[in-house]
Every structure is written in structure tokens, then in C-alpha cells.
Chain A
Amino acid sequence: MAMIDEPLYPIAVLIDELKNEDIQLRLNSIRRLSTIARALGEERTRKELIPFLSENNDDDDEVLLAMAEELGVFIPYVGGVEHANVLLPPLETLCSVEETCVRDKAVESLCRIGAQMREPDLVESFIPLVKRLAGGEWFTARVSSCGLFHIAYPSAPETLKTELRALYSQLCQDDMPMVRRSAASNLGKFAATVEAAHLKADIMSIFEDLTQDDQDSVRLLAVEGCAALGKLLEPQDCVAHILPVIVNFSQDKSWRVRYMVANQLYELCEAVGPEPTRSDLVPAYVRLLRDNEAEVRIAAAGKVTKFCRILNPELAIQHILPCVKELSSDSSQHVRSALASVIMGMAPVLGKDATIDQLLPIFLSLLKDEFPDVRLNIISKLDQVNQVIGIDLLSQSLLPAIVELAEDRHWRVRLAIIEYIPLLASQLGVGFFDDKLGALCMQWLKDKVYSIRDAAANNVKRLAEEFGPDWAMQHIIPQVLDMINNPHYLYRMTILHAISLLAPVMGSEITCSKLLPVVINAAKDRVPNIKFNVAKVLQSLTPIVDQSVVDKTIRPCLVELSEDPDVDVRFFASQALQASDQIMMSS
């Protein structure tokens, strides 16, 4: 490429753009780093662009964040994996900035690059980088270093490995809790790369230090490590080293730590095996289910099914079920709500008898809970109950709960129940539905709140899909069409919307005979909003019906509307006409 044809100096363009005071322009140019790199070619990218970026680290955090991200995928532009190490210096600098997002992104990019680098290059440049960061003067560098060990460690020679383990151990005892937290949260990843022998010796002692940290923010991150380490260790080591820790944690004085345990405990059961689970973890879990702090009970209650699945049914019935019973009348509605969202999953675990004897009463009491969220959570898992005990036993209690929720004063609750109606319909069957729920579905079409009317229209469509056009002709269409005469135009609009949704389900014939006349009639409404909605609906009906109907009925109506005094009506009418023209042309 001759220089005469190339008056551009890509680096100069970048430098120029990065000087601009408009941050958006600076961001844009960073986002186009790859273009610059490609224009420069690999060698000049390595020798000019990357060194320039290494020095340009005084920009806004947002620009630095973009840079950290771009560099993560830059290997192809510097000439492939064998040159990947040139990307490390700018990212190393970004690992030490103040802003957390930038640091995290830089670590992520470094990991991505490190994972592709060749082993000798890792030893030569990546590992020294990790060591430098780990020994950094300011905590930001040390925090970042913790996330890089798992990339560096596997390819390190033996002596370096020893050094890296020692370094990590130091980080876990760092003066600053920020560093210890980072070390604690990355411990699982690092441990997964460490050889079994060292795992038991070095890593476990690091871990034990963390579990005894005086800051609960560090301890609760160590809880996460329990599950990760538990999976790496042999069962007997897990019982010897992890189990006591988790049992202690389950009685930690900080509720945040106990909360974490409540969330993670079930993961450990598999790691320790059935016997220690029975002797130690079940009692620990029972304690958490009865914790003094509601937040802990919420977490524990939410895991009750997962936990029971691991246990044999007897243990679950003997130890967990009594707690579940207590929780179902817990003083905190959020505990009950968490329980309600998972409790149905216990039915298959407990089997039919225990479910009917013990779970069903709990279930029914939650279904009558004074707090709507609790009832909703139960109803949403209805299919699971049905599988175990059948709907007959439930329908008696179910209906009052549904009716009450259907009229709840919070429209979001009403919305939630509407969304479950199709599921209920499929579970309960046509018979039950006709008697009890049909009227409710029509009532929602006249709700005060738009979102409810909208959902209600969608609901009738889904019911028609579920039970088929014949059923719909009997139970939905007449009632819906009846409402087109409602004095309030917003309700008439809802019906138009429902018609447009129902038409594709009902098919051409019913649409022409039943739905279309109603729409055509509505074109004479006195409210312009109805009229332009008619235009919209007609447009949506066009593909469904025969061309002859379009020509005979729909187009004349649209033509009339396109001469309406109201500008919006004319607009949508002519739009619909255009659309029908296009369909004609294409067919």
C-alpha cells in the first residue's frame, strides 16, 4: 500500500478523537479500536497502538470500561495467541483503578486472554503480572489479583505453584477486608485448579482462616466456598473439614451468614453423603427453618423442596414437615410466601399418603392466607398438586381463593391470577370451568384498569385455544360480542381488541359470520377512537378471510372511514387500505 494513497494515520485519528471533550465521541472511538487495529496491521498495533493505550489511562471510567472490554477480544488484532502477552500491560493498569466495574472488566478480559495464552507465555508474563498485582500497594490491585490465580496456577512450574499458593494465603489474611472478601469469593475457582494434596493442606487452612474472620461480610463469602470446596474434596474429607464449618456457620451470630447457609445448605448434602446429612445437616437446616430472623427463615423456606428431594421421605416427614407446618403460620408473610412458592414440589417427594394427610392441610391454609402473594404462589404451582392428589380434593378450596384474588384491590394481583387462568382451565377441565370461572373471565373485560382488560382479552383467546372453537362459540363469543354495546367506549375498544385476537383462533368461517358484522357495525360508532380501532382490526382480519369478503365488506367500510371527518380515523383507514392493496398485489 503506497503512502500516497494512505494519508491517514490511524493512531493520530485515535489520539485526536480521545482528546475530544465530548465523552460520547471518546467512547465511540474506543468502541472502534478494532477498526484502527486492522487499519494499522498487527505489527503496528503491537508496537504503537497498545503502548499508546497503556498510557492513556486517565480518562473517564466509562471510557476505561469500554477499553477493558475491547482489549479482551483483541488477540486476533495483535497477531494471534503468540503475541497475546502485549495485551497484558494496559489491562494490568486497569486492574488497579478505583472504579469497581472497570477493574472487574479488566480481570474478566485478562482471564479470557490468559485462557488462550501458551504455557511458556503464561509463565513468562501472566504469572509475574498476577504476582505484581497481588503485591500491589493499593488494595484495588490486590482485589483484582484474586480473580486471576485460577488462570495462572495450572501452567506454573512447581516452585511457582508453591509461591502462588503462599501468595493467595497472604491475600486471605490481608489487612483490608476488601481484599479478604475478594479472596474469599474467588477461593472456589482457585481451589478447583489446585492439586488434591495441596487442597487438603494449604487451601483448607486458608479456608479455615476465612471462616473465622471477624467481619461477617468475609464469613458470608466463605459460606459460598463451602459448597465449592465440598464438591472438590473426597466425602470423608468433606465431613472432616467442611461439615463442622457449615454447622458452625448455621449458628453464626450474624444473620447474614446464616442466611447464606440457608441458601446453600442443600448443595452440601450431596458432598457429605447421606449419613452426615442425617446426623448434622438436617438438624442444622431445622434450626435455620426456626431461626429468629425472618430473613433467614425466608431463605430456608425457599429451599425446603430442594432439601427434601435429597433426603429420604421418612426423614423429610419426620424432621422437615413439622417445621413446614410451623412456617405455614409464620408471623412474617414473606416467609409464608416463600414457602408457598415451593411447597408444592414436596408432594412428589412425600408420596400420596403423606401429602394428603399432612401437606394438604398446610396447602389449604396457605390457599386461604390473608396475604395475596401467598395464595398466588400456591395457585401458580397447581399443576404439581394435581399430579399427586387430583383436582377433586382441591376444587372446593380453590374456587373461593381464585374468586377472591380475581377481585383483589391490587390490580397486579388480579393480573397475576388472570395469567394463571389458562393453566387452571387446562387442569380443572371444561366442566368445572364453565360453572365457576366463565363469569369471572367476562368480568375482567370490564375492569377499571387497562392492563387487566388487555390481559383479559388475551385470556379469552387462550381459552379458545385451549378448549377449541366449538366450545368458544358456546361460552365465549356470544358474551364477548354482547359487550360491544357497552355505553363506555373504552370497554367497546377492549371488545374490538378481543375480536382481533379471537379471529385467528376461530377461523375464517366464524370470523365472517359472527365477528366481522360486529366490527363493521362498530364503524358507525360516534367515538373516533373506536372508529380508527375498527380500521386497525379490519386490517388484521384481512389475511384471515376470503378475498371476496375483503372486497365486498371490509374495503367498502374502510373506504367510508377514509373519508371520516376525524384525521386519525382517516389515517388508520388509509393505512389499512394500503395494507390490503399490498396483500392483493402479492397474491
Chain B
Amino acid sequence: MFNKIIKRGHRKPSKADAIDSGLYGYGPTGNRNSGMVSTSNVVVNHASRTAPAPSVVNSAPQPGGAVIDPTALPSGNIDPLPPFRDVAVSDRQLLFLRKLQICCFQFDFTDTLKSVREKEIKRQTLLELIDFIQSGSGKITENNQEEMIKMISVNIFRCLPPAPHENSGSEMLEIEEEPYAEPAWPHLHLVYELLLRYVVSSDTDTKIAKRYIDHSFVLKLLDLFDADDPREREYLKTILHRIYGKFMVHRPFIRKAINNIFYRFIYETERHSGIGELLEILGSIINGFALPMKEEHKLFLVRALIPLHKPKALALYHQQLSYCITQFVEKDYKLADTVIRGLLKYWPITNCTKELLFLGELEEVLEATQSAEFQRCMVPLFRQIGRCLNSSHSQVAERAFFLWKNDHIVSLIAQNRNVILPIIFEPLEKNVQSHWNQAVHGLTINIRKMFLEMDFELFEECQKQHEEMEARARELEEQRELIWKRLAEAAEQRKGEDGITV
């Protein structure tokens, strides 16, 4: 625990400074630095944060109507504004704008004693804004919508602090740690709440809102899914899902952007905190796919979802992934053998925890698999299952045997026993002869008996073949070596002959 405190203590200041310095000259600058250099750094930070355009650094003032310019406000002082109900309806839009301006201030949350009054004022103001949107007590003007999204952007779009693995301060000794808690959450969650209320509000007209909730906004929202704080990701998930539901125009873009996150995760970094949340959104999107399925969606299955089985952190999002995969197969059973072959491609070699997850998922997919698709992939499938049956990790072996507890799978096996038994006969024999685990032994005997009762002749035939193979194994091995040796000799000889050309 002590370590954690130390670590937090180390991690927070860096972020706190950043937040603190987002004050645009309000209050003292970061607790560590007092040089003017860092202050100027900060101003640029702020400018690029507000910029809706994807430019890197842009300190030019924002174009457009009534611009919130925090630097114009008297520094070091925020005064509470009257509640909406205390002013005339006609003045409420202006009040709304002024409240937005207050909410553009950001505070240092690592120091709880700092600017207590101002923090409370901002909190109250955010609550009032949420209430105003939620109550539908007056449609907000387009300009105010734009300014509100800007205020939200200023607050939520920040460069995330180093993740635990990127942080030199994190010791590998701490294996399981408590989830990270975003220090600014008391305000952040209200800002997210406001965004959510705005998105779901029936007063919000997507034709207008899409101007502010544009591609760049969505992209930055997606970037935040890598946040360490699970509460933040939860909000992001809900909000993005609602945006997906409401803004039809953004749908292909969102899907594409999520794919890009997946590709980077799979093929480049293997690090991302929000894969589970993104998959959860996709789970319900897939659920709503119309049939017959579009080619784009099938490609998504093959190119993103199936490769997502590869990263070693699979356990963190497997449940959601498995749900997405089974949704696909349940919607279109013809995809079953594609999925099964995909699982086989990424089947773990040494990671038993992952292997257990694979076996669980495999069972669910097989459950929805029809005979024709089953036949298309059963040979490689049962070679793999055979390897699992022999696993020296008893849980893996047991889990593989449990496939035979599933009636649908058993009937598929029974139909195709002529192909399957010859493949798994050897693994079964191997277990009988040498598996160390008693339970696995028992299960092996049961399955063996099941096949024996199913088809006595076939069983005998397999036994005979197995014995022959056993007897010839050495011979085959020697033969292989001999062939390679002769090949090498032939190569040498040739070299002698065409010596000049080589």
C-alpha cells in the first residue's frame, strides 16, 4: 500500500501540473515549476486543446461568434452566477454562456486545499448546466451549443498521463493494483454527464449538433478510451454508443476509427485500456446488423475481431470479444468455420490461461455451428483438441474433455466419427498411458468408452492403425533423416558439378 501511495504521489504531480497550468494565468503556476518557460508552454497547450481543427499547435484565436476567451476574464476570481430560475427566460441563454465560461477553468485536484471555493462554484455551475439541459426548460441556441462543446472539449480532451507501463516510476513488483483514479474526476464526471445529457436530449437536433460533434471530436473521444480510470471509460462508452445511435452520418467513421484502434493494439502496441469498452459498444452494434450481413462487417470479423485473440492481454476483454464473435456466428451460421479456423490460427502455445478462454469460446461457437461448416474445419480443429487433451495443464485437458458434455457437439462428433476418431485416438491413448492427473485419466477413459460404444468396428480399426503407427514411428523418423541426408549429398554433388556457376 505504501508503495502505491508513493507511486501515486509520483504520478499525480505531473498531471496536476498540467491541469493546474491550464489555468491560463489563474492562480499560482505548478507547484514544481515557477519559471516563465513552463507558463508559456502551458498557454500553447491550452490553445491547441481548444482548437477543433486537428492542427498541432495553434495559438491563433478561435474564429466564430461569441468566443469564450478565458484570458479575458479577471484572473484569480470566479463569482457564482444566479441560478437559471432566478432570471427571465429571455436572459437564460446569456446566463448559459456565462456559466459555460466559468466551467472552462481547470483546477489542480491533487491539492485538495487549493481553490476550494472556486472548485465548488464550478461544480455547482456544471450541475446547473446539466439540470438545464435535462429539464428541457429551454432549447439552447446554436451558438451556445457550439460553446458548450468547446467547453467540454477544453475539459475532457487532454493528453493522458503515462500509463502504468510507460511510467518509469512503476515497479514491476506490484502485479495487481487498484484501478487508477483520475484526480480531476469530481469535475470531469459532471462534464461527461453534461455531454451525455446533450447527446441524448430530445431537444438536440442532430443536423445542428453534428457540426460540433464532428469527426475530429469523435476521434478525440476515441483517443480517451485509453484512459486508466475505469469510471471515465464507462462514461465514454455510454456517450460514444449514444453518438453512434443518434448520429447516423458518423457511423461508418466511428467503425473505421475503432478498427484503427484495434489494428494499432494488435499489430503495434498490445497496450490499450479501453478495448473491452469498445467491444461492448460493438457487441450491441453487431446485434443490430441487418441480414444478410454486409461484406464490410464480415471483413471486420476477419480482420479485427479474430486477430484480437492474439495479444497476450486477451483476458482483459475476452468476455466482450467472445460475445461479439458468437453474435456473428448466431446471426450467420455460415461464418462458423471462418471463426473456428481463426481461433486455431491464434491458438495459444504456452499460455494456459488464454487456452482456457479459447476453449470456452470454442464451445460457444460450436454450439451455433451446423454440420456443413463443422465438416469444413473439423480436421485441424480436432488436431488442436487432441493437443489440448494431452495438455500437462490439467485444467486445459479437463476443459477440452468438457466439450463432450455438450449434446450438440457430441452429435456433430458422432456424425463425423470416421474422421475424428482416427485423429484423437492417439492423444487418448497417450493420456491413458501417461497423463499424470487422475481426473484427466478418468475423463479419457470415459470418452474412449463412449467411442467404443458408438462404433466398435471403427474403434478396433483405429486401434490397429495406432499400433501399426506406433511400430513404424521409429522407422519413419529414420527414413526422414535418411531422405534429408541424401538430399544434402545430392546438393553437395551438384555443387561439385556446377561448381563454376555458383
- The chain A residues found within 8 Å of chain B, CB to CB, are 1, 6, 8, 10, 13, 17, 21, 25, 32, 35-39, 41-42, 60, 76, 79-80, 98, 100, 138-139, 175-178, 181, 211-214, 216-217, 219, 248-249, 251-256, 283, 286-287, 290-295, 298, 330-334
Q: Complex Cα distance A36/B494, Å? A: 11
Query: Which chain A residue lies CB-closest to B51?
Result: A253
**Count: A-B pairs, CB below 8 Å:** 148
Q: Which of B49, B491, B498 has the most CB of A within 10 A?
A: B491
User: In the complex the two chains form, is A290's CB within 8 Å of B37's CB?
Assistant: yes
Contact A251 B493, CB 8 Å, known A39-B487, A290-B38, A334-B168 = no
User: In the complex the two chains form, is B260's CB within 8 Å of A294's CB?
Assistant: no
Q: Which residues of A contact B54 (CB under 8 A)?
A: 212-214
- The chain B residues found within 8 Å of chain A, CB to CB, are 10-11, 13-14, 17-18, 21, 30, 32-33, 35, 37-38, 40-42, 44-45, 48-49, 54-57, 158-159, 161-162, 166-169, 216, 219, 256, 260, 263-264, 267-268, 303, 307, 345, 383, 480, 483-484, 486-488, 490-495, 497-498, 501-502
Instruction: Give, as a whole number of angstroms, the nearest-CB distance from B207 to chain A.
Output: 25
User: In the complex the two chains form, is A286's CB within 8 Å of B307's CB?
Assistant: no
Cβ 8 A contact of B491, one of A38, A292, A331: A38
Closest CB pairs A-B (n = 3): A214-B54, A38-B491, A292-B17
Contact A295 B168, CB 8 Å, known A10-B487, A178-B264 = yes
Q: Which residues of A contact B487 (CB under 8 A)?
A: 8, 10, 13, 32, 35-36, 39
Q: Complex Cα distance A254/B223, Å? A: 12
Cβ 8 A contact of B38, one of A60, A292, A295: A292
User: In the complex the two chains form, is B48's CB within 8 Å of A253's CB?
Assistant: yes
User: In the complex the two chains form, is A252's CB within 8 Å of B57's CB?
Assistant: yes
Instruction: Give, as a whole number of angstroms, the nearest-CB distance from B488 to chain A.
Output: 5
Q: Complex Cα distance A177/B267, Å? A: 12
Query: Which chain A residue lies CB-closest to B346?
Result: A61
Contact A332 B10, CB 8 Å, known A39-B487, A212-B56, A252-B56 = yes
Q: Which residues of A contact B498 (CB under 8 A)?
A: 41-42
Q: Which residues of B contact A38 (CB under 8 A)?
A: 491-492, 494-495
Instruction: Give, as a whole number of angstroms, the nearest-CB distance from B378 to chain A.
Output: 14
Instruction: Give, as a whole number of angstroms, the nearest-CB distance from B309 to chain A.
Output: 12
Q: Which residues of A contact B264 (CB under 8 A)?
A: 177-178, 217
Q: List 24 A-B contacts (CB under 8 A).
A: A6-B490, A8-B490, A13-B487, A79-B501, A139-B263, A213-B54, A251-B41, A251-B57, A253-B45, A253-B56, A253-B159, A255-B161, A287-B37, A290-B33, A291-B41, A292-B14, A292-B21, A292-B41, A292-B42, A294-B162, A331-B32, A332-B10, A332-B14, A332-B168
Q: Complex Cα distance A212/B102, Å? A: 31
Q: Which residues of A contact B17 (CB under 8 A)?
A: 292-293
Q: Which residues of A contact B30 (CB under 8 A)?
A: 292
User: In the complex the two chains form, is B216's CB within 8 Å of A254's CB?
Assistant: no
Instruction: Give, as a whole number of angstroms, the nearest-CB distance from A334 to chain B.
Output: 4
Instruction: Give, as a whole number of angstroms, the nearest-CB distance from A110 to chain B.
Output: 19
Contact A76 B45, CB 8 Å, known A255-B159, A292-B30, A293-B18 = no
Q: Which residues of B contact A294 (CB under 8 A)?
A: 10-11, 13-14, 162, 168-169
Instruction: Give, as a whole number of angstroms, the nearest-CB distance from A52 to chain B.
Output: 16
Q: Complex Cα distance A552/B360, Å? A: 72
User: In the complex the two chains form, is A251's CB within 8 Å of B18's CB?
Assistant: no
Question: Other than the known A32-B487, A212-B55, A252-B48, what 17 A-B pairs have Cβ atoms closer than 8 Å?
Answer: A1-B494, A41-B498, A76-B502, A138-B303, A178-B263, A214-B54, A214-B216, A252-B56, A253-B45, A254-B159, A255-B162, A287-B37, A290-B33, A290-B37, A292-B42, A293-B14, A295-B14
Q: Complex Cα distance A332/B7, Å? A: 10
Instruction: Give, as a whole number of angstroms, the nearest-CB distance from B306 to chain A.
Output: 10
Q: Complex Cα distance A25/B14, Å? A: 53
Instruction: Give, as a whole number of angstroms, the nearest-CB distance from B9 to chain A.
Output: 8
User: In the complex the two chains form, is B18's CB within 8 Å of A292's CB?
Assistant: yes
Q: Which residues of A contact B42 (CB under 8 A)?
A: 292
User: In the complex the two chains form, is A334's CB within 8 Å of B169's CB?
Assistant: yes
Contact A251 B35, CB 8 Å, known A21-B383, A36-B487 = no
Q: Complex Cα distance A10/B492, Å? A: 14
Instruction: Give, as a whole number of angstroms, the nearest-CB distance from A56 to chain B.
Output: 16
User: In the complex the two chains form, is A100's CB within 8 Å of B268's CB?
Assistant: yes
Q: Which residues of A contact B37 (CB under 8 A)?
A: 283, 286-287, 290
Instruction: Give, as a whole number of angstroms, the nearest-CB distance from A340 to chain B.
Output: 14
Query: Which chain A residue lies CB-closest to B306?
Result: A98
Q: Which residues of A contact B495 (CB under 8 A)?
A: 38
Q: Which residues of B contact A17 (CB under 8 A)?
A: 480
Cβ 8 A contact of A98, one of B219, B268, B307: B307
Contact A8 B483, CB 8 Å, known A41-B498, A212-B56, A292-B38 = yes
User: In the complex the two chains form, is B490's CB within 8 Å of A176's CB?
Assistant: no
Instruction: Give, as a whole number of angstroms, the nearest-CB distance from B43 to chain A.
Output: 9
Cβ 8 A contact of A39, one of B33, B55, B219, B490: B490
Q: Which residues of B contact A214 (CB under 8 A)?
A: 54, 216, 219
Q: Which residues of A contact B268 (CB under 8 A)?
A: 100, 178, 181
Cβ 8 A contact of A331, one of B10, B490, B493, B502: B10
Cβ 8 A contact of A293, one of B56, B162, B260, B345: B162
Q: Which of B161, B219, B260, B267 has the most CB of A within 10 A?
A: B267
Q: Which residues of B contact A253 (CB under 8 A)?
A: 44-45, 48-49, 56-57, 158-159
Q: Complex Cα distance A199/B372, Å? A: 58
User: In the complex the two chains form, is B45's CB within 8 Å of A177's CB?
Assistant: no
Q: Complex Cα distance A177/B342, Å? A: 25
Q: Which residues of A contact B488 (CB under 8 A)?
A: 35, 39
Instruction: Give, as a whole number of angstroms, the nearest-CB distance from A249 to chain B.
Output: 8
Q: Complex Cα distance A251/B267, Å? A: 29
Q: Which residues of A contact B11 (CB under 8 A)?
A: 294
Q: Complex Cα distance A251/B48, Å? A: 10
Contact A10 B166, CB 8 Å, known A42-B501, A98-B307, A212-B54 = no
User: In the complex the two chains form, is B486's CB within 8 Å of A8's CB?
Assistant: yes
Q: Which of B13, B32, B383, B495 has the most CB of A within 10 A?
A: B32
Q: Which residues of B contact A8 (CB under 8 A)?
A: 483, 486-487, 490
User: In the complex the two chains form, is B159's CB within 8 Å of A216's CB?
Assistant: yes
Q: Complex Cα distance A294/B161, Å? A: 10
User: In the complex the two chains form, is A35's CB within 8 Å of B38's CB?
Assistant: no
Q: Complex Cα distance A88/B307, Å? A: 27
Q: Complex Cα distance A248/B47, Å? A: 13
Query: Which chain A residue lies CB-closest to B492?
Result: A38
Q: Which of A1, A36, A217, A332 has the most CB of B within 10 A?
A: A332
Q: Which residues of A contact B158 (CB under 8 A)?
A: 253
Instruction: Give, as a whole number of angstroms, the nearest-CB distance from A217 to chain B.
Output: 7
Q: Which residues of A contact B483 (CB under 8 A)?
A: 8, 13
Instruction: Give, as a whole number of angstroms, the nearest-CB distance from A370 to chain B.
Output: 12
Q: Complex Cα distance A21/B40, Å? A: 64
Q: Complex Cα distance A295/B216, Å? A: 27
Q: Which of B11, B17, B44, B56 has the most CB of A within 10 A?
A: B56
